[in-house]
Each structure stands twice: as structure tokens, then as C-alpha cells.
Structure 1
Amino acid sequence: METRIKIADILLDSLPFIKIFRGKMIVIKYGGSAQANPRLKEQFAKDVVMMYMLGIKPIIVHGGGKDISEMLDILNIKSEFIDGHRITTQESMPIVEMVLSGSINKELTAFLNHHGIKAVGISGKDGGIFEAISKEEFSYTGKITRVDISLLTALLQNGFVPVIAPVAGSSEVNHPGYNINADMVACEIAKSLNAFKVIFLTDTKGVLDAQGNLFSALNEEKILELKKLGVITGGMLPKIEACLECIKSGVQKVHIIDGRIEHSLLLELFTSKGIGTEIF
């Protein structure tokens, strides 16, 4: 009986959040262990199904850095990173797109469909969603310059869940396209769709202080201070940059959560305490 009462309490605790989020668009950046571990994949799919059934409109952007690195190593193509961003070369771009738009995107789409969601796998090239330019000369790591949400809007209006690979097209004819940081893709989509929230699944608890303790909430002033102190570095930098860009553009809140925890999405969205770092 005590267990049943506890379950009822959890459901009642989630009720206000269900009311707030119903009908809202929430962009989820899916990556890290949650994307690689079979059990975590299963729990992620179930979380998205729950969100979908509660009337939330999820939009999923996935990464694929680990798979890309493994494939480039197999083909003996070197990778270089600067401040957490991969420098994509002309030689590596076709491989990057093959991994992101092919194996990863379609596997995730099929997995979600299997669990009861009408998911559609696309890349930023489809429907001309993203157009980009090179971030640096001769680099195929891109910066988004134009967003067209007409395809995404049509999918959402018809009850589909878009699953988006972070590859963008170019204004140049016969150009191979650009590899875009998935965190920034999630941010650009959230801005363009006027999404309610963005959630980043990572392999850390959230944003941590110098002693490894979790910040439950952060604002821009505190983030800039942590960057100056060198507390926020490496792969967390692109996420933080994307978070701030989202907030400045009207997204209500951004969350960085630990994707290694089962049902992390539900725990962050539908419980009073949450589990990660909320940025506002």
C-alpha cells in the first residue's frame, strides 16, 4: 500500500508540469551514453513516447561524434578539435554525413517508431531547413545562416516527431554541405520554432563547479564568470554557448541533464527537483 501511495504522490507532483507543457514544443539534443547504451536508448524512447502521449511536441536533434571518430579512424582520416568543435575537412565531410544522416538517424527513427511514435528522420538538407557557410576558410564545419521551418511545421502539425541530423546545405551548387555542431542546431531550431524548452542530454550531471558539485540553476552573469575562471571548458563550451543563444532568443528555459540516468527526461520535466542544470 505504501508503494502505491508513493506512486500516487509522484503522479500528483507531475500534474502541474503536465498542464504547463501540454501542446508545447520541446527540442531535445540527444547524444552521449544515452545514444550508445542499448538500455538507455530504450528508456529514452519510452520517455519520448510519454511526452508525446501527454500532448507535448518533441523535436529531436542527435549528435554522433563518437561514431564519426570511429569511422574516420577506420579510414585513417585525422580529426582535429578546437574548443569542443570538430574541424571537418573536404575529405571527411562525406563520411560525417554518411554516419549522421545514415546509420545514426535511421536507427533512432526506427527505434522510436517501434515504440509507438510517428518519427521521421531528416537532415538539415531536407526541405532546405538549414543553409550554412564555413566557420573558417577551407573548413566544412559550418555556421547556419538561414533556417526554413516549413517542413518541420508540416511534420509537427501532422503528429510526426522530427529526428534531425546536424548536416546543412549550401547556397553553392554541388556543394557537399556542412557539418554543424548539434548543440547549435538544437538552438537554431528552438529559436525558429519558438520552442518552450531545450534539453541537452550529456554524459555529466550538468554544469559542475571546480569541486565537481552540480549547479542546479545558472544565469548569464554566472556563466560568464565561470568561463573566465576556466570552470566551463572543452565540450561544455558549445553547449553553454547554445544555451545562452537560446535564452536570448526567447526560449523559456534550457536544461543540461545527465543522459546516463534512466528516464532522465521525465525526471527533469515532471518532478519538482529535477536532476540537472537549469539555465534561465
Structure 2
Amino acid sequence: MTSDNLQDALQIDAAARVRVLSEALPYMQQFAGRTIVIKYGGAAMKDSRLKDKVMRDIVFMACVGIRPVLIHGGGPEINTWLGKMNIEPQFKDGLRVTDADTMDIVEMVLVGRLNKQIVSLINQAGGSAVGICGKDGNLVTARQISQKDVGFVGEIVTVNTNIVDSLISRQHIPVISSVSADETGQSYNINADTFAGEIAAAVGAEKLFLMTDTPGLMKDFHDLESLIPRLDIREARQLIDSGIVSGGMIPKLTCCIRSLAQGVRSAHIIDGRMPHSLLLETFTDTGIGTMITA
């Protein structure tokens, strides 16, 4: 490459960087001071390189004035530890069968290992994260779901956001594991998507992000061109009723609909396998996943 060609390339690269920053600025201004809730899981949690990028993106958001709240599950690591304890993971109707021994491992993984790891990564990236679970500060009160044969699987009864409000008002990033308890202190394992949706509604979040292992909401799972970039809550309900959306996407979409009905401004189903998917969906005109609005 000649010196003239190199100079041209550098100028083009500089112009592209300026366009990216210019495009992002109105979104930074719009969302400064607003709370967003991110449900973190899937491939983005299992891949260490992706994990580092997600944490840096969350710190970036905090640095431009957004108030992120991170909710996490940890299914694959729970399965790994169950295997170490010679306990076979079991599921019924998409729910993890959670007996007393399994509940102990769920708490050890979610409240202990993963929560502390995520907090450490955010702090290493320059953020200020604080790890909690649904039990802390009576954040979430739970009860056993009606399907008794799955054990200690819970549903949310009440949400008290005092502890979360206190943390975000002091510019901390709450990192919350989806374990809670009932009034007697019995622990329950709660679906992380559902947990995130209820927290988002309770804190009056601007946005709810569900990081998944798919590009977003698609009419045909096998056809990337069928991605639905944007729809409203009425259209989302129609997709479920018509059977176009099926399988594991139904509870995710239902979670989004419920949070929107309770006041969340928009919900986003994004591909956690794509580096910087949070930033692309938040700060660009086109986005990269599915945005659902009220």
C-alpha cells in the first residue's frame, strides 16, 4: 500500500468512527439517567471472551449516564455442578426439577460463584458492581408454583425495590441472581427471564433486554431473513395466539409483554452471541435484535 492509499484508508476509518459516535449521541442523551434491566445468560455467559465484552459494554453504559441492572441465571453451570455431585438434572415442562439437594447447588452456583464472578469482572472493567439475590433486602418474595412435582421452583409474589433503588442512586450496578425465598425463609429457584421482567417493571425501567442464543424473534427459526425487527405489544400477543412463535421463545415473549403492560417502555430480545449486541441495539438506528414496544 502506498502512502497515499494508507492516508485514504485512515481517513475513511476515521470518518466511520465519527459517524458511529454521531449516531450514538442522541441515544446517549435520551437514555441518560434512565434505568435498563439486562437478563444475562446463554452463550454470552459461557464464552469467556463474550463475557468480558458484555461486562465492558455494561460499564460503558454506566459511564454515559445509563443506570444498568443485571439479572443472571446460570443453567449450564448448575448442570455441571449437579454432575459433580452425581445428581442427574431433570426438567418437566421446561422447569428444572429442584429438590432440596438441587436447591443447595442452585444457590451455591447462582448466589455464590457466578454472582461473585460477574461482580468481579464489572469492577475490573472500571464499574462499581454490587452482588445481591432476591432474598437481600426482601427484594423478591416468592412462593412455590402450583406445579408441585417440580419441587422448589418459585413464582414472584411481591417486589420491594428499595435495595436496588438505593444502589443505582449511588451509581452502583446491581448484579442480581434469580434466587428468592418465601416468608418462612424457604429458598426458591425462579426463572431468570421472569425475574428480570418483574424487576424491570418494579423499578420503572426504560428498557428490558433479554440476551438469548437467537438473533431475536423470528417467524421461521431456520430463516435469518424472517427476523422481526420491531413490533408492538398487540402484535406480540397475536404471534403467540397464532402459533407463529413456539417453544422456548413463548415464555420470553410473554415476559416481555408482561413487563410492557406494567410500564416498561420497550423490551428487546437480542443475540448474546454477537459481540457488543447491547450497544448495537441501544445506540444505533437499525439495532440488531427484536424491539417490542407498548
The TM tier, using the shorter chain, reads over 0.9
Aligned residue in 1 for 2:178:
166
Aligned residue in 1 for 2:277:
264
Aligned residue in 2 for 1:221:
234
Give the secondary-structure state (helix, strand or coil) at the position aligned to 2:100. coil
Q: Is the 8 A contact 2:134 2:177 kept in 1?
A: yes
Aligned residue in 1 for 2:105:
95
Task: State the Cα distance separating 1:89 from its structure 2 match.
Answer: 2.2
Structure 2: gaps of 5 or more residues: 1-10
CA distance in 2, matches of 1:140, 1:8: 52
Q: Which amino acid aligns with 1:9?
A: R
Q: Which amino acid aligns with 2:252?
A: K
Q: 1:55 aligns with which of 65, 71, 78?
A: 65
Residue 254 in structure 1 maps to residue 264 in structure 2: no
Q: Is the 8 A contact 1:84 1:236 kept in 2?
A: no
Aligned residue in 2 for 1:152:
164
Q: Which amino acid aligns with 1:61?
A: I
Q: Is the 8 A contact 2:236 2:292 kept in 1?
A: no
Q: Is the 8 A contact 2:132 2:176 kept in 1?
A: yes
Give the secondary-structure state (helix, strand or coil) at the position aligned to 2:155. strand
Q: Which amino acid aligns with 2:153?
A: T
Q: How many percent identity over aligned positions?
A: 40
Structure with the larger RCO, 1 or 2 (CA within 8 Å, 6+ apart): 1
- For residues 141-182 of structure 1, give each alpha carbon's deviation from its aligned partner in whole angstroms, at most 9, with x where no partner exists: 100101111111111111110000000011115x2x100011
CA distance in 2, matches of 1:161, 1:38: 20
TM-score by length of 2: 0.90
233 and 77 in structure 1: CA distance in 2 versus 1, 3 angstrom threshold: farther
- Structure with greater Cα Rg: 2
Structure 1: gaps of 5 or more residues: none
Q: Is the 8 A contact 1:208 1:214 kept in 2?
A: yes
CA distance in 2, matches of 1:216, 1:153: 31
Task: State the Cα distance separating 1:277 from its structure 2 match.
Answer: 0.4
Residue 111 in structure 1 maps to residue 118 in structure 2: no
Q: Which of structure 1's runs of 4+ aligned residues deviate more than 6 A?
A: none
CA distance in 1, matches of 2:284, 2:138: 38
Give the secondary-structure state (helix, strand or coil) at the position aligned to 2:69. strand
- For residues 35-79 of structure 1, give each alpha carbon's deviation from its aligned partner in whole angstroms, at most 9, with x where no partner exists: 111111111111111101100000000110111122223323233
Aligned residue in 1 for 2:194:
184
Task: State the Cα distance separating 1:215 from its structure 2 match.
Answer: 0.8
Q: Select the structure that is richer in helix.
A: 2
Task: State the Cα distance separating 1:229 from its structure 2 match.
Answer: 4.3
User: What's the C-alpha RMSD, in Å, of the aligned pairs?
Assistant: 1.5
Q: Is the 8 A contact 1:124 1:165 kept in 2?
A: yes
- For residues 227-277 of structure 1, give each alpha carbon's deviation from its aligned partner in whole angstroms, at most 9, with x where no partner exists: 344432332222111101111001000000011111111100000000000
CA distance in 1, matches of 2:252, 2:48: 24
TM-score by length of 1: 0.95
